[in-house]
C-alpha cells in the first residue's frame, strides 16, 4: 500500500554486484559517486550499500551533498569537488569533508575556514589535465602547487588526493586519455618534489574503470556503472545490473471511440474504437514530456504505446480494441532491468535516452523526489528505516 502514484524500486543487491564488477575490472579501490542523490537512486542507501560491498570512500559534487551523507551517519572519507565562490567551507571543514579544490582562490578560502576553526583541513586537488572544465588551470598550476606544498608544510592542510576527470573516458582508445594521465602523473610528481605527496591519485570514471585498468592509479570514481548502466553501450553491458525499476499501476481503463482526441491539445486521435489506460506518472516525476508518443509501458507481459501528450502527473496508453486484458490496478512498469517483469522485454532507461537523443544519466538522475523510493536487498543497514533507527554500518574509510 502506498500513497505515492509512482514507485522507484532500487535493488541494492544490484548496486553491490556492480561495485564488485568495478573493483574487479579496474583493479583499484572504488570511490562510489553518489552525487545528485545517488543519480536519483537515493544517496544514503546507495552509499551504505557500496561501502558494505567494498567501496573505499564516497564522492559528491557539492559540499551540501557530502554533508548530508555525514548527517546520515557516514563517518568515513567523503570527497566533494565542485564549489561556488561563496561555498560554506567552514561546515565542510567541521564535518571533515575532503574538499577538492580547483583553484588557488578556493584553496585560500579553505585555509581561511580551517584557520578560523583552529583545525586542519582535508584537501584534494582537482587538476584540469585537459577536460576543459573545473580543475586547476594549467597556467595556475605552478603557483597552486607551491601554495599546496606551503599549506602542507605549515600543517594547515592534509593533502589527501590528486584527481582529474577524463574528457574521452567513453572512447577508451582516444589518445587524449593518455595525455590526461601523463599530465596527472606530472602534477603528482610536482607535488611530491615539493614535499607534498598525495595519499591517493584517481581519474577514472565508469567507462575508464571498466575498460582502461592501466589508468586506475589508486582509486577509480565510477557513477553510472554502479547504478547498472553501461557507460559504453556499444561494448555491451559489462555484466552490470540496472538497479532501478520505475513502476506504477494502471489507474483507469476506459473506451475511446474512433476519432476521439486524447490528452492535452488532442495530439493523438483514436484511429478506430479502442481502449485506453491511464498511468499516473508524468514529467513532474521525471518522465520527460518530450517522450510523448515515443514511450512504451510494460503491462502484464506486453508493451503498450503511449498516446497523446505526457502531462505533469499522468500519461495515457493505447490498450487496443480489446483492451489487451488490462485491468485497473495492473502493474505498469515504465523502465527497469530486463528481469523486472515477464513477457516482452521491459523498456530501459537507456531506451528512453536513445529515443530522446540523450544519455541514461539524465533519465535516472531526473527521477525526482515525488516517486516513492523502495529498497530491496542489500545490507540491512542500508534500508532507510533501519538507518533512521541509528543502525549504520559500512562507513567509508581511507
Ligand X SMILES: Cc1ncc(COP(=O)(O)O)c(C=O)c1O
- Please choose, from the candidates 1, 3, 5, 39, the residue with its C-alpha nearest in 3D space to the C-alpha of residue 247: 5
Q: What SS3 state is found at 325?
A: helix
Choose between 113 and 210: whose C-beta lies nearer to ligand X.
210
Choose between 60 and 306: whose C-beta lies nearer to ligand X.
60
Contact between 217 and ligand X per CB under 6 A: no
CA distance linking residue 147 with residue 134, whole number of Å:
18
Q: Return phi, psi of residue 169, to 5°.
A: -55, -35
Contact between 42 and ligand X per CB under 6 A: no
Name which of residues 136 to 195 contact ligand X (CB under 6 A). Answer: 165
What cell numbers appear for 236 in the block?
555491451
Contact between 300 and ligand X per CB under 6 A: no
Site string for ligand X, 230-249 (x = CB under 6 A): -x------------------
Choices 42-50, 219-227, 277-285, 329-337; region in contact with ligand X by CB under 6 A: 219-227
Asked whether the beta carbons of 344 and 301 are under 8 A apart, the reply is yes
Contact between 40 and ligand X per CB under 6 A: no
What cell numbers appear for 309 in the block?
501528450
Pairing of strands 219-220, 29-33: parallel
Contact between 222 and ligand X per CB under 6 A: yes
Contact between 205 and ligand X per CB under 6 A: yes
For helices 43-52 and 63-71, the axis angle rounded to 10 degrees is: 70
Tell me if residue 264 is catalytic. yes
CA distance linking residue 287 with residue 10, whole number of Å:
17
Choose between 206 and 392: whose C-beta lies nearer to ligand X.
206
Q: What SS3 state is found at 29?
A: strand
Contact between 392 and ligand X per CB under 6 A: no
Name which of residues 355 to 384 contact ligand X (CB under 6 A). Answer: none
Angle ∠(315,317,318) on CA atoms, nearest 5: 150
Tell me if residue 283 is catalytic. no
Shortest separation between residue 81's beta carbon and ligand X, angstroms: 5
Binding site for ligand X (CB under 6 A): 33, 81, 165, 205-206, 221-225, 231
Which residues are the active-site residues? 35, 264
Amino acid at each position: 500500500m502506498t500513497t505515492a502514484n509512482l514507485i522507484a524500486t532500487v535493488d541494492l543487491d544490484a548496486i553491490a554486484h556492480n561495485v564488485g564488477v568495478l573493483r574487479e575490472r579496474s583493479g583499484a579501490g572504488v570511490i562510489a559517486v553518489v552525487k545528485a542523490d545517488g543519480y536519483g537512486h537515493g544517496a544514503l542507501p546507495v552509499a551504505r550499500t557500496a561501502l558494505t560491498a567494498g567501496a573505499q570512500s564516497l564522492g559528491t559534487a557539492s559540499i551540501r551533498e557530502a554533508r548530508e551523507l555525514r548527517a546520515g551517519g557516514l563517518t568515513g572519507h567523503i570527497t566533494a569537488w565542485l564549489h561556488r565562490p561563496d561555498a560554506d567551507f567552514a561546515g565542510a571543514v567541521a564535518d571533515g569533508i575532503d574538499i577538492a579544490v580547483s583553484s588557488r582562490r578556493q584553496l585560500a578560502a579553505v585555509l581561511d575556514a580551517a584557520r578560523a576553526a583552529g583545525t586542519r583541513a582535508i584537501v584534494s586537488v582537482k587538476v584540469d589535465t585537459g577536460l576543459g572544465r573545473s580543475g586547476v588551470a594549467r597556467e595556475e598550476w605552478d603557483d597552486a602547487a607551491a601554495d599546496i606544498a606551503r599549506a602542507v608544510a605549515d600543517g594547515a592542510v592534509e593533502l589527501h588526493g590528486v584527481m582529474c576527470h577524463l574528457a574521452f573516458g567513453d572512447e577508451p582508445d582516444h589518445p587524449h586519455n593518455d595525455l590526461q594521465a601523463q599530465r596527472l602523473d606530472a602534477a603528482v610528481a610536482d607535488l611530491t618534489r615539493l614535499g607534498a605527496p598525495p595519499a591517493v591519485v584517481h581519474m577514472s570514471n565508469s567507462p575508464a574503470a571498466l575498460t582502461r585498468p592501466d589508468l586506475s592509479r589508486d582509486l577509480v570514481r565510477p557513477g553510472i556503472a554502479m547504478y547498472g548502466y553501461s557507460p559504453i553501450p556499444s561494448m555491451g553491458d559489462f555484466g552490470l545490473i540496472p538497479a532501478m525499476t520505475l513502476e506504477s499501476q494502471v489507474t483507469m481503463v476506459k473506451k475511446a471511440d474512433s476519432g476521439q482526441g486524447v490528452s492535452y491539445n488532442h495530439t493523438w486521435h483514436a484511429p478506430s474504437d479502442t481502449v485506453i489506460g491511464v498511468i499516473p506518472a508524468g514529467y513532474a516525476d521525471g518522465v520527460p514530456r518530450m517522450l510523448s508518443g515515443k514511450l512504451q509501458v510494460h503491462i502484464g507481459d506486453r508493451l503498450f504505446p503511449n498516446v497523446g501528450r505526457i502531462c505533469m502527473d499522468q500519461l495515457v496508453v493505447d490498450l487496443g480494441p480489446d483492451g489487451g486484458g488490462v485491468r485497473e490496478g495492473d502493474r505498469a512498469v515504465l523502465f527497469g532491468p530486463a528481469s523486472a517483469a515477464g513477457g516482452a522485454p521491459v523498456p530501459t532507461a537507456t531506451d528512453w535516452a536513445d529515443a530522446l537523443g540523450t544519455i541514461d544519466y539524465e533519465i535516472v538522475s531526473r527521477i525526482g523526489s515525488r516517486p516513492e523510493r523502495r529498497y530491496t536487498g542489500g545490507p540491512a543497514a542500508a534500508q532507510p528505516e533501519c538507518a533512521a533507527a541509528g543502525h549504520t554500518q559500512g562507513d567509508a574509510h581511507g
